Amino acid sequence: MTRKRLILFGLAGLLVLPWLDAPASAHNWGCWRQPNRTVLVYNSAANRTQAAAALSEWSADTILNISNRTSHTEVSVYDGNYGATGWGGLASIESSSGCNITHGHATLNTYYSYTSNGKRGVFCQEVGHLFGLQHSNDGGCMGGGYYYDINTNYNVVSHNISDIASKYANVPASRVGEPEPDDTASRVHALWYHNPRSLRETMNLANSIVVARVVGVHDAADIVVPVAGLENGERRIANQRIALQVERRLKGRVAPAIELFHTGDQDFVLDGDPPYEVGQMYLLFLMSREDGSYLVVSPEGRYEVTEGGLKPASTREFSRLLRGVGLESVVTDLDELRRRQ
């Protein structure tokens, strides 16, 4: 079977290939960790019950000890309506010393709909990132929204417990000579509300599919949400507007020139969704926003078009198999998928 046929027939359906992301011995978010086993946490979320349940589980089930505080400290947990950003949760490292996280934010975006357990799962995952954990396909909250539904898989599980044990078993009260993280190390993790697991699912989520060139990158007004206790009583998140010149329309009716909403900037970079650069060409799977701009459905809907083939933004599941595949092969597959529906 050719690579192109593999993409269409092996990955276009709802099939999830477990061998692509099987659990490994540990899932670490780079070198990031808390300075010691006692983690000071301030929970100011409106969904306080769900946040508290997630925090309690991490504290009860692992060797970490979560100590609740009444002001923003090492880990701040909160929520708010950040609008149609594409992400339902964020974990951001606000300050660090070497690889030690000295302050981090775990955020739930209440614009998106989650069950009560789902909200607990989002808090569980974002806090887990701030302990230094990566996503893991283990049936628990650290894989929720990526490998399965976070509304039903929202707990700390044995794999998370062992990851914490191996990461913190020999962590002293203070660390000396901690290595500095690489300059390109990610400092922000997003839990995307939509996480397609196939080309067909990505296509169906998108209102429009285009091949477009980046002609402008502009900083926009920060997203501002009230958060008690933060500076000026608000949380500000940078975002940009990306001006695109549409070269081809593969699905939907879009204008020749459109604007793309993008969370972050050069200093606030989401893992799997780096800044755009003028001159880049992309295959984009887009959703419409209320203000007339567009949003990529998730990193699985963003592919840079290069001379060497497509370059996916995401490295998970089916997207990685599209690396190096020619644009016309994928366009042909999309046409075939539409005919088969």
Query: For residue 249, what are the β-bridge partners?
Result: 210
Q: What is the DSSP letter of 144?
A: B
Using the 8-state DSSP alphabet, how is residue 300 labeled?
G
User: What mean pLDDT do residues 219-223 have?
Assistant: 97
Q: What is the percent of the chain with per-residue pLDDT over 70, rounded to a whole number?
A: 89
Instruction: Give residue-wise pLDDT tens across range 18-45.
Output: 334 444 457 999 889 999 899 999 999 9
Start-to-end Cα distance in the chain: 22
Q: Indicate the average pLDDT of the chain.
A: 90
Least confident stretch, 23-37, 142-156, 292-306: 23-37
Residue 26 Cα distances to 1, 32, 38, 91, angstroms:
34, 13, 21, 19
Tell whether the torsion through CA atoms of 81, 297, 54 and 126 is positive or negative: negative
Is a pLDDT exceeding 60 seen at residue 65? yes
Residue 17 burial (CB count, 10 A): 14
Amino acid at 274: P
Q: Is the pLDDT of residue 182 over 80?
A: no
* Contact between residue 250 and residue 258 where contact means Cβ atoms under 8 Å apart: no
User: Taking a C-beta distance cutoff of 8 angstroms, is the pair 51, 75 a contact?
Assistant: no
Given the structure tokens 């970490």, which residue do they identify? 64
Q: How far is Cα 251 from Cα 160, in angstroms, rounded to an integer?
A: 41
Cα–Cα distance measured from residue 82 to residue 91, given in angstroms and rounded to the nearest whole number: 14
User: Looking at residue 228, what is its pLDDT?
Assistant: 86
145: left (phi over 0), alpha (psi -120 to 50) or beta: left
What gap in Å lies between CA 36 and CA 75, rounded to an integer? Answer: 13
Domains and CATH numbers, the chain: 23-192 (3.40.390.10), 199-340 (2.40.50.120)
Q: How far is CA 237 from CA 186, 262, 332, in A?
A: 16, 11, 38
Give 99-112 pLDDT, tens digit per residue. 899 999 999 999 99
| pTM metric for this prediction | 0.91
Residue 210: the pLDDT is 98
Q: What is the dihedral of CA 141, 142, 147, 151, to 10 degrees?
A: 20
Q: How many helices (H) and strands (E) does the chain have?
A: 8, 15
The pLDDT assigned to 322 comes to: 95
**What gap in Å lies between CA 212 and CA 121, rounded to an integer?**
36
